[in-house]
Amino acid sequence: MTSTIGLALLMSGCASGPLDSGTPAELPAAVTDDVFTSDSVRYLGEDSNGSAYYAAKNANNSEECLIVITTDDWASGCGRLPVKVTISDTDATLAKEPLSDDAPGEHVGDYVTVSTSP
């Protein structure tokens, strides 16, 4: 029975990942890069410093991207998950699987960990 349910989920396209978990969104105007597929953008959440985190597919839909927007700047990285982005003194990682409760760093949503250098 379990394999039947798993097969049904696989066939229905119910994959789970960062682009399935976030809220559909538009990137803020500050993000001037057009390398992201606009209909794939998902808002993942905000950290304790007020930085916002988004996930998206790149323009040719071949890689997943993490976009980090701070109060002063923004940065992104694309590739096979996990994807890491460093901006100022912040390292953020977009994970392939939902984070476990004991994953290090601050958790933003189910897929992003954030650590800040002193």
Query: Cα dihedral sign for 13, 15, 19, 21?
Result: positive
Helix (H, G, I), strand (E, B) or coil at 44: strand
pLDDT score of 36 more than 80: yes
Average the pLDDT over 20-36 and give the result.
Answer: 87
Would residue 96 count as lying in a domain?
Answer: yes
Domain around 107: 16-116
Would residue 3 count as lying in a domain?
Answer: no
Would residue 11 count as lying in a domain?
Answer: no
**Could you report the per-residue pLDDT of 48-80, keeping only the tens digit for each?**
999 999 999 999 989 999 999 998 999 999 999
- Cβ burial of 70 (10 Å; 0-12, 13-18, 19+) is middle
Give the C-alpha separation, 42 to 18, whole Å. Answer: 8
Would residue 38 count as lying in a domain?
Answer: yes
pLDDT of residue 114: 98
Would residue 40 count as lying in a domain?
Answer: yes
pLDDT of residue 15: 53
User: Which of 77-81, 88-92, 114-118 comes out lowest in average pLDDT?
Assistant: 114-118
The CA angle 6-95-14, to the nearest 5 degrees, is 25
Number of domains in the chain: 1
Would residue 22 count as lying in a domain?
Answer: yes
Q: What is the DSSP letter of 111?
A: T
pLDDT of residue 13: 45
pLDDT score of 9 more than 80: no
pLDDT of residue 3: 41
